Structure 1
Amino acid sequence: MTTRTPDDHALTRTGLAPSGRGRVLLIACGALAREILDLKRLNGWDHLDLTCLPAILHNHPERITDAVRTAVARHRGAYDRLCVVYADCGTGGALQAACAELDVEMVPGPHCYAFFDGLARFEARDEVTAFYLTDFLARQFDAFVWVPLGLDRHPELRDLYFGNYERLVYLAQTDDPALTEKARASADRLGLTFERRFTGYGDLARAIEAWAV
């Protein structure tokens, strides 16, 4: 999913936006697109543009760093500032090192579950037996969990993958009863107890706000 990249003729190129602020491009995981667009709309951050890398890269974290490098190289000349809306996301520190080398900022933390929950709270809980869903993963559970793990074809593998988990924790960005039921159904399919935790946008909102000013 890509929204308003420099290939779109309507974009303002490097220079001041109508607000007097420089143009900022958010290079984000596609799993965060809806939340980022909501934050842009709610806060009137019209000087922020968004381009998203495929959300399925979460299943291949070894590819994330190179994809971000490519996006930075493609867009750097068109913006005053580039910001990467990924946490570490399984790259083992490689993404953070690349962002430091490229002189671009990124969201702190191990993954999106942590920054939605709030980094301090997430680390304090130390929930090693919890499997997490966000709004995106509640919607896309089959496409990003069930089918890639082969559970649609071999449901007997469920205990191999999830036998060490005890709970499915749904970190809800929105108050959506239909999504809550999807998440609850996913917990049932995995044989896990269910917990819903409303987080809103958490530290994601604070990170983007810092880049927007």
Structure 2
Amino acid sequence: MHIDDETLQDHGISAQGTGDILILACGALAREILDIIHINGWSHLDLQCLPAILHNTPEKIPDAIEAAVRDHKECYSQIFVAYADCGTGGLLQARCAELGVEMIAGPHCYSFFEGNAVFAAHDEMTAFYLTDFLVRQFDAFVTKPLGLDRHPELRDMYFGNYDKLVYQAQTDDPALTAKAKDCADFLQLEFERRFTGYGDLETALRDM
């Protein structure tokens, strides 16, 4: 399935109705989840992704997940939510508990990509993180929403307390690494690349 990043950002993707278990995920994870499904030949898993842009308004995520669960609960034997807390302050976890659906553990995708235990051990309060998706969509999720394309002087206000940009690479793509380095230079941060692969995301899906 070919999906462009703008579609994943603004619209997400609909379930295909081809599996027994539905994964409800953020559009920012679509490529990774589809790759995991393909690599492992998991025909029992189906995927629906909500728009990645919901991360700019995380308070809307629990209601969006609930609507998707109610729309699909009669069609699947199980629904799994591939969102972490994602800035909802525990509201998504509480909503999933009310709906009787499981969700992936962790505070956000940066944590479960690296592995929740490993990420917690880093204790990096002054690091700004990017994934493959966010490197590709840096302008849409960082530059334009923060107004840095129009007012670059705001960089210090937003990023003055950060000291490095950590690129968590899900794939080994030199072009993405180069672009991530450009993002770090734009934000005037030190650059670090970590190849995480799919981390706890693949582990969680393997248990489905």
**TM-score of Structure 1 vs Structure 2, range by shorter chain:** over 0.9
Structure 2: segments with no counterpart, 5+ residues: 1-7
Quick one: percent identity of the two aligned structures? 67
Q: What amino acid maps onto 2:130 in structure 1?
A: L
Matched, 1:204 2:204: no
Q: Is the 8 A contact 1:64 1:95 kept in 2?
A: yes
> Which residue of structure 2 lines up, in the alignment, with residue 138 of structure 1?
135
Give 1:188's match in structure 2, choosing from 185, 188, 198: 185
Whole-Å Cα distance in 2 between the matches of residues 156 and 77 of structure 1? Answer: 52
Following superposition, the deviation at residue 179 of structure 1 comes to 0.2
What TM-score do you get using the length of structure 1 for normalisation?
A: 0.91
Whole-Å Cα distance in 1 between the matches of residues 68 and 153 of structure 2? Answer: 40
What TM-score do you get using the length of structure 2 for normalisation?
A: 0.93
Q: Is the 8 A contact 2:84 2:105 kept in 1?
A: yes
Runs in 1 of length 4+ with deviation above 3 angstroms? 1-4
Following superposition, the deviation at residue 4 of structure 1 comes to 5.1
Whole-Å Cα distance in 2 between the matches of residues 52 and 193 of structure 1? Answer: 33
Q: What amino acid maps onto 1:70 in structure 2?
A: A
Q: Which has the larger radius of gyration?
A: 1
Could you list the per-position Cα deviations for residues 110-163 of structure 1 after superposition, in whole angstroms to 9, with x for gaps in the alignment?
000000011001001100000000000010000111101111111110000000
Q: Where in structure 2 are the equivalents of 1:102-121 lying within 5 Å? A: 102-121=99-118
Q: Is the 8 A contact 1:28 1:53 kept in 2?
A: yes
Following superposition, the deviation at residue 3 of structure 1 comes to 4.2
Could you list the per-position Cα deviations for residues 3-37 of structure 1 after superposition, in whole angstroms to 9, with x for gaps in the alignment?
452xx5xx35xxxx6xxxxx100000000000000
Could you list the per-position Cα deviations for residues 147-183 of structure 1 after superposition, in whole angstroms to 9, with x for gaps in the alignment?
0111111111000000000000000000000000010
Following superposition, the deviation at residue 47 of structure 1 comes to 1.2
Give RMSD over aligned pairs: 1.0
Could you list the per-position Cα deviations for residues 39-67 of structure 1 after superposition, in whole angstroms to 9, with x for gaps in the alignment?
00000011111000000011111111111
